[in-house]
Amino acid sequence: MTRTPGEAAIRVLVLHESNLMRSALSSLLGEEHDFDVASASWNDSERGLSSAEPRVCLADAGSPGVDRLTPGGSLSGRVSGPGSGLVVLAHPDRPGVLRRAFAARAQGYVNEDAIPQRLVDAIRKVSRGERFVDESLAFSFLEAAEMPLTPRELSVLKIAATGESIAGTATRLHLSQGTVRNYVAAVVRKTGARNKIDAIRIAQAAGWL
């Protein structure tokens, strides 16, 4: 698409931990004449957002960095406020990832296996304040709504997944060890897991962690 005289470019910031993926996505989007593309790693995201002042941010929904965009996160409101929007790449087999992206107030959802034009269309729509949901992700959205764990149970499991002990988890969350054990037991029950390790595996496979 060619930009008409006087029309401002759509400023796009690609956020990705992999330098190779950042370069590939930036190169792909840079082919569009109405896009002005920049990129940054999640570690450099605050500076990238400040310097690029993007209208649209593109991120991998499965990246832990997306959690920084949720309410209370260090980047909350930076890419979902007036004049800006978030587009995420996701896979239909990981509905929990979509739930995290929804919590981050993403406006565009593109299947990571989609043709490049789908991504381009999503960015243009979100830049106009519209929403875009890839049809192939629709059923996964329904599954994402069925995530059985509460935010507190998920936070306990997330810390447990790092290898932290019950005592360490209790200290970090300012809870008693008995309360943490109760949360772990609830997680194991709700996920249908055999034990804590199995619950972590199930949660990671679903994209909840």
pLDDT tens-digit map of 64-121? 888 888 766 778 777 765 667 899 999 887 777 787 788 788 889 999 999 999 999 9
**Mean pLDDT calculated for residue range 50-61:** 91
Share of the chain above pLDDT 70, in %: 89
pLDDT recorded at residue 141? 65
pLDDT recorded at residue 7? 60
pLDDT recorded at residue 146? 62
- The yes-or-no verdict on residue 24 having pLDDT over 50 is yes
- The yes-or-no verdict on residue 136 having pLDDT over 50 is yes
CA distances from 76 to 71, 106, 162 (A): 5, 12, 24
Pick from 101, 193, 194: nearest CA to 148: 193
pLDDT band at 3 (very low <50, low <70, confident <90, very high): very low
